[in-house]
Amino acid sequence: MAGLNTLIISAVMAIFCAVAGCAHTDGSVAAKPTEYRPGQTVTVQGRLSRGVECRALIAEDGTLYTLMGDLKGFGIGDMVCVRGRVVEYSYCMQGITIGVDWIGADCGQTGQSPGN
């Protein structure tokens, strides 16, 4: 009976996390699905963080992104601007994955504003 209770509690928590979003150990909240399309070029500004399999970026609006590619020496805690394409499939296991085309400390260097 105890095994059944554990299973029920686990299922309820999984449903809650899927609907409401779950907090990460750093206090950030998991990204909810958005209108991004694979191959879409985006510019995102935020702080680099740890990810499950890839470096993560917590955007200023709280959205979780994961990054694939060369981060040019930027590390956890750095505020960065990233320009790249939304990846359809990745091994990052969380968030919206961006294939990094460019990364810098300032979005003004890209000629784009965040969110494009």
The domain tally of the chain equals 1
Asked if residue 24 has pLDDT above 50, the reply is no
Decide: 45 and 59 in contact? Cβ < 8 Å.
Answer: yes
78 backbone dihedrals φ, ψ, rounded to 5°: -75, 140
Q: What are 67's strand-pairing partners?
A: 55, 98
Q: Which domain holds residue 75?
A: 2-109
User: Confidence class of residue 113 from pLDDT cuts 50, 70 and 90?
Assistant: low
115 lies in some domain: no
77 lies in some domain: yes
Residues 6+ apart with CB under 8 A from 105: 74, 78, 79, 80, 81
81 lies in some domain: yes
Question: What does the pLDDT look like over 39-96, one tens digit per residue?
Answer: 999 999 999 999 999 999 999 899 999 999 999 999 999 999 999 999 999 999 899 9
